[in-house]
């Protein structure tokens, strides 16, 4: 059994050209995503997004890294201490 963790990834998007690729990456990891909230901050011309996840630490790190390597996108992951043995089912 694999251990999963509850975490969030905070994302700041400064380059709108990276949004399509970011959404594609998020879609590829949809099975681990609990929820998503996005806030367009027009005054500063940025988008602020938070992604709640229940995934392995490697999956969370990989996702944050892929998104963070996009031009004009910054990420930071925060992990909870909630660790669960994953039996292979998707989070609900």
Q: Which two tokens stand for residue 4?
A: 């999963």
In a domain, 64, yes or no: yes
pLDDT bucket at 90, cuts 50 / 70 / 90: low
In a domain, 17, yes or no: yes
User: pTM of the full predicted structure?
Assistant: 0.86
Specify the CATH number for the domain of residue 64.
3.30.70.1150
In contact, 4 and 55? CB cutoff 8 Å? yes
Q: Residue 48 pairs with which residues in a beta bridge?
A: 12, 39
Spatial separation of the C-alpha atoms in residues 49 and 45, rounded to whole Å: 13
Q: How many CB atoms lie within 10 A of CB 74?
A: 13
Q: Using one digit for the tens of pLDDT, what is the confidence trace for 8-66?
A: 999 999 999 999 999 999 999 999 999 999 999 999 999 999 999 999 999 999 999 99
Q: Which two tokens stand for residue 63?
A: 């996702």
In a domain, 92, yes or no: no
As for how many domains the chain has, the answer is: 1
């Amino acid at each position: 059994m694999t251990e999963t963790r509850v975490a969030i990834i905070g994302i700041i998007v400064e380059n709108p050209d990276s949004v399509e690729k970011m959404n594609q990456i998020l879609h590829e990891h949809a099975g681990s995503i609990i929820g998503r909230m996005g806030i367009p901050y027009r005054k500063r011309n940025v988008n602020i997004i938070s992604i709640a996840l229940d995934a392995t630490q490697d999956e969370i790190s990989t996702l944050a890294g892929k998104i963070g390597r996009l031009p004009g996108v910054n990420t930071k992951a925060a992990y909870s201490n909630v660790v669960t043995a994953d039996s292979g089912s998707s989070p609900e």
